[in-house]
A and B are shown apart, each in its own frame.
Chain A
Amino acid sequence: MNVKVKILLGVTLIFFLLAMPVFSVGQQETSAREGVKEIAQIKWALRINPESGEADVEAAMNEILGSKLGINVDILPLSKGEFTQKLNLMMAAGDALDVTFISSQSWGGNFYQVVSKGGLLPLDDLLNEYGQGIKDQIPAKYWEAVKVNGSIMGVPNYQILARSNGFRVQERFLDKYGYDIAEWTKLEDIEPFLQDVKDNEPKNVIPWFLTKTGIWASVLHYYQLDEVADAKTPGVIRFNDMSFTVINQFATPEFEEHVQLMHKWYKAGFIQKDAAVITDMAGVAKTGNVVAEWGNHKPGDSADLKARNGGFDIAVQVLDTPYVNTNSVVVTLSGIVRQSENPEKAMQFINEINTNKELYNLAIFGLEGINYNKIDANRIELIENSGWFPNAAWGMGSQFNAYLIGNQPDDVWEQTIELNESAKASPLLGFVFDPSMMKSELTNVLSVYDSYAPALITGTADPDELLPEFIEKLNEAGAEKIIVEMQKQLDIWVDSK
Chain B
Amino acid sequence: MKLAGRKTNTIIILSIFTALFIYPIVAVVSISISHVEDIYTFGYRIIPKSISWDAYKYIFASPQQLFSSYRVSIIVTVLGTLLGLLIMSMLAFSLSRKNFKFKRPLTYFVFFTIIFNPGLVPWYINIAQTLGMKNTYLALIVPYLVWGWFTMLLRTFFASIPEELFESCEMDGANQFTVFFRITLPLSKPALASVGLLMMLRYWNDWFLGLLYINNTELMPLQLWLYNIMVNIEEMSRVAADAGVIETINFPSESARMAMAVLAAGPILLVLPFFQKYFVKGITVGSIKG
Q: Footprint of B on A, CB under 8 Å?
A: 7, 18-19, 21-22, 25, 49-50, 76-82, 85-86, 89, 92-95, 204, 280-284, 286-287, 300-301, 303-304, 307-308, 391-394, 399, 405-408, 412
Which of A7, A77, A80, A412 makes the CB contact (< 8 A) with B235? A80
Task: Render B36-80 as a binary contact track against A, CB cut-off 8 A, 1 for contact.
Answer: 110111000000000000000000000000000000000000000
Contact B215–A50 (Cβ < 8 Å):
yes
Q: Could you write out 21 A-B pairs with CB less than 8 Å apart? A: A21-B131, A22-B129, A49-B232, A77-B215, A79-B228, A80-B232, A82-B224, A85-B211, A86-B211, A86-B212, A93-B121, A93-B124, A93-B125, A93-B129, A280-B253, A282-B237, A282-B253, A287-B41, A304-B245, A308-B240, A391-B239
- The answer to whether B121 and A308 have CB atoms under 8 Å apart is no
User: Is A307 touching B36 in the complex (CB atoms < 8 A)?
Assistant: no
Whole-angstrom CA separation of A80 from B224 in the bound complex: 12
Across the interface, which residues of A come within 8 angstroms of B250, CB to CB? 286
A49 engages B228 (CB within 8 Å): yes
Residue A89 contacts which of B102, B120, B132, B239 (CB distance < 8 angstroms)?
Answer: B120
Instruction: Tell me if B243 counts as interface (CB < 8 A to partner A).
Output: yes
- Cross-chain contact A92 with B121 (CB below 8 angstroms): yes
B149 at the interface (CB under 8 A from A): no
Say if the beta carbon of B227 comes within 8 Å of chain A: yes
Are A407 and B130 in contact (CB-based, < 8 A)? no
Cβ contact within 8 Å between B212 and A308: no
The reply to whether A25 and B132 contact each other, CB–CB distance below 8 Å, is yes
Interchain CB contact (< 8 A) of A283 among B36, B120, B235, B240: B36
Q: Which residue of B lies closest to A305 (CB)?
A: B241
B207 vs chain A, min Cβ distance (A): 9
Contacts of A95 in B (CB 8 A): 128-129
Within 8 Å by CB of B245, from A18, A49, A286, A391, lies: A391
Q: Which of B40, B215, B247 contacts A307 (CB 8 A)?
A: B247
A281 touches B237 (CB 8 A): yes
- Bound Cα distance from A412 to B244, whole angstroms: 10
A25-B132, A81-B231, A284-B40 as given contacts; A392 in contact with B211, CB under 8 Å:
no
Are A406 and B244 in contact, with the CB atoms below 8 A?
yes
Nearest to A18 among chain B residues (CB) is: B130
B172 within 8 A of A: no
Q: How far is B239's CA from A412's CA once the two chains are assembled, in angstroms?
A: 18
How many Å lie between the Cα of A287 and that of B250 in the bound state?
Answer: 10
- Of B129, B215, B253, B254, the residue contacting A76 (CB under 8 A) is B215
Known A82-B211, A92-B121, A284-B40; judge A308-B241 contact (CB<8 A): yes
Inter-subunit contact B41/A304 (CB<8 Å): no
Chain A to chain B: the 8 pairs with minimum beta-carbon distance, closest first: A282-B237, A81-B231, A92-B121, A82-B211, A80-B231, A307-B246, A93-B125, A79-B228
Give the complex CA separation of A223 and B235 in angstroms.
Answer: 29
B42 CB, nearest partner CB in chain A, Å = 10
Which residues of the partner chain A approach B124 to less than 8 Å between Cβ atoms? 89, 92-93
Minimum CB distance partner of B126 in chain A:
A18
Place the interface of chain B in its size category: 35 or more
Shortest beta-carbon distance, B117 to chain A, in Å? Answer: 15
Question: Given contacts A301-B241, A406-B246, is CB(A89)–CB(B129) below 8 Å?
Answer: no
A79 vs B227: C-alpha distance when bound (angstroms) = 10
Q: Quick check: A304 and B241 within 8 Å, CB to CB? A: yes
- Which of B37, B121, B217, B232 interacts with A50 by CB under 8 Å? B217
Contact residue among A82, A94, A308, A408 (Cβ-Cβ distance under 8 Å from B244): A408
CB-based contact A392/B130 at 8 Å? no
A25-B129, A49-B232, A92-B124 given; 17 more Cβ-contact pairs under 8 Å:
A21-B130, A21-B132, A25-B132, A50-B215, A76-B215, A79-B228, A80-B228, A81-B211, A93-B121, A95-B128, A281-B237, A283-B39, A283-B40, A287-B41, A307-B248, A393-B244, A405-B245
Indicate the member of B105, B224, B237, B243 with the most A CB atoms within 10 Å: B243
Residues on the B chain within 8 Å of A393, using CB: 243-244
- The listed residue with most B CB atoms (<10 A of its CB), out of A50, A85, A86, A282, is A282
Q: Which of A78, A92, A94, A204 has the most B CB atoms < 10 Å from its CB? A: A92
> Which residues of the partner chain A approach B228 to less than 8 Å between Cβ atoms?
49, 79-82
- CB neighbours (8 Å) of A86 from chain B are 211-212
Closest-CB distance, A96 to chain B (whole angstroms) = 10
Q: How far is the CA of A76 from the CA of B124 in the complex (A)?
A: 18
| Beta-carbon nearest neighbor of B235 in chain A | A80
Query: Within 8 Å CB of A307, what residues of B?
Result: 240, 246-248
Q: Which of A281, A282, A286, A394 contacts B243 (CB 8 A)?
A: A394
CB of A443 to closest CB in B, whole Å = 21
- Specify which of B120, B130, B230, B242 is in contact with A394 (CB 8 Å cutoff): B242
- Smallest CB-CB separation from B37: which chain A residue? A287
Please, which residues of chain A bring their CB within 8 A of the CB of B132?
21, 25
How far is B260's CA from A79's CA once the two chains are assembled, in angstroms? 18
**Chain B minimum-CB-distance residue to A26:** B129
Contact across chains for B231 and A303 when beta carbons are under 8 A apart:
no
Q: Nearest CB to that of B242 among chain A residues?
A: A394
CB pair B239 A93 closer than 8 Å = no
Q: What residues of A have a CB within 8 angstroms of the CB of B37 in the complex?
A: 287
A28 to B64: give the CA distance in the assembly, Å.
Answer: 37
